[in-house]
Structure 1
């Protein structure tokens, strides 16, 4: 709910969209009611000065808000009836010429009725509008030519460089290869993890067995110690047993050292064997990857190479002849030799195709150069046509000026014809006297009648055009009669 000042500001702003030159002379309430009556607001009787005094109250604000909404809709309607005459908004309109000439006639006709002369400043405005239109067309043509040059440069750059699709396809193949390598490496790590887990399990089992054996030895030692404690021995037996024990300790240490050396040798041999097996698996995976890429195995098998040897490695077998699924010297080497010969023949065929493609590319380059020359010739022809258009436009303007002079002569004849209808003029004077008596009432409703006056102006213009056409026809008939009389 706005204040009274806010309501006045809103109302002034909205009515300024309809009549920006209106001056508020008296109180705002009186002027607002007079404006609403002048524009024929249908519910002006429901609005009083007290309502405007208390614009923000709950009782009066809904009615005033509806009145403001009606004003907004009226402004939108007037905006649709009287669109902007800015030439920049009509630069892409096919009705630009008709609109400009209509505006020119609408402004020139009242001036001509008052003075009887053609206003020169309106002709300057008309010429300026056409010059602005021409400048915008020239600017648009320059922009199109610049975009065409940029497009040609971009096309040349795309044709000179490698296709982005080929680059992306190559990158995709490389990424797929890297993915396959990583998957193979992950599988190797998983297999190594499984082997290490099995080895750790075996070590734990051996440790558990050693602990069980140690506990049994501890029990046996306790039993032997109990037996020894129960026996009665002499010092000579003790010395003899100590010497035997020392000998046994020395022998045990020697055996333990030899066991450690054997375990170390076995561990070194197992590590060397594991490294060899890893290298063999890596070579087998490399072979499988390259054979798959070359189409020797798998779903992508090359139809020109009759080879299908898929190599698998079994590192858990005890027979060295069964580590590989096929014999490398007897089966794989001859097959790879045949594949090498087949790929060599394909390489020669591919090189021949590349030479043919280069020849075709040279022919296409020559064709492109010819097409560019044709495009350049067409650009020159377009410039010639543009110059011819400018010349035609100048000639049309000159003819228009000549036609304007002829129209002025015809309008002078129409003025002479008006002097012949004196009785009509007397009636018009009587009507004018009657109109003077009603001047005050017409002045109050002038804003309401503005739209009707516009329609009357359009109809009068149509009548004038019809009258001009009729006068031209009569003048032609008079000219024909005069020619016929002269020839007779």
Structure 2
């Protein structure tokens, strides 16, 4: 394993917690390095325990503690030599460190030293530090008593110092051959104790003296705080810098989590490489699974967004392909406006009828109140007459006559009551008939109004009837029969007007009918003329067809004669050619004979 991969006290580091636990600076080993170069060796995790092994006494200066890393990885152990490549586990051996000694550290300059702000000279603060040091040493199984802290010796101080330093840095290389004065300052500087320059090595010979004990006690207290901070850090569960793969959430964005997964991948791949593998399928699959879980929700959201986008795009295409709804809305608006006009008209008529009914109800209430008052007066008068009759002294004959008159009046009253009941029945039946006839009349008037609207006779009428209103309304709530029908007079106005309108319409219809007959007559004449023209056209077509046939016959005869003439001309040309050939041949013979004769 290369040197940069080893964990050491000498590696520079920064305090990411800003020293919030104890108010003291944090040593470099208290922070787990985030980069892969600062990670623990692949030889295996360190087996750490927060306490020292049992049996370690106060006089032990070997520097062993429960925080020593024990290598349990068998890959770095030799398979051929049993004593090579193994980490010894006995108390006589120590794990190595890359620390090269105090000589390699440059002492801090004078400008970097500063005064310790802690009240080290106060007794209460010293008692507090002693108690915390004692509690921590007891918790880490270091055998010590409070009396020892009160009267400290150089040997005890060295044992406590080395014990606390090993807790902070288990790999720190103490050398038993060196003096404690030569090891104290380098150890404090390696752990970056901020007040190491204020410690005098001469104090270590007698650490319990008055001038040296506060500063040396503060050193032990600072080491205790650093040990507690390191333990809290190692035992923390939510700190991402621990880079524990099992504690990485499924969804993460911290770079440290990415580095932890990368280091785990490289570690497993390195182990597989030691076993002879060149392709790391399992490690690749595990890493892909981790990142697939990380991206699962995002991928799901992306798919949902894509589906929603496709749906919205489809709806947009449908809207673009469909016609604009403006025409439909305009038609609906026109219908609504027409319905509104009709509704306003109906509402006006109903309001007028409501006013009439309200007036009728008011009149009926007034009449009922008057009759109630009259009834009360009659009742009072009856009681008065009854009292008068009681105080009168009547004879038996008068009583008999009065009884007879009473019986006669009672019979007459019964007859009148019967007649009244019959009259009431008749009135009720008449009311029902009146109501039915009123409803029929209302329906007839409604039909009449619809007919007026259909034929266009709603006001205003065309001249000369523009000042006449043909509408009628039924007022069944009135007591005056003359006011049952509201509107113009039917006999004097409406009927003559309708007759005049009908006469005008009949006249217009007769004129239109006459015009139609005239147009039909003209149309018949035009039709007859068209038929005559068609007949002439057919005759002309027949003549044209006969002429075409004659022309075709003449054309055929001319073609035949032309063919015969052409054949005769060809024959004559052929005979002429033969004659010309024969003439030429006979001329040549004559010339040859003439030449022969000339030679002779």
TM-score above 0.5 = no
Larger Rg: 2
Structure number having the greater helix percentage: 1
- With structure 2 as the length reference, what TM-score do the two structures score? 0.27
- With structure 1 as the length reference, what TM-score do the two structures score? 0.32
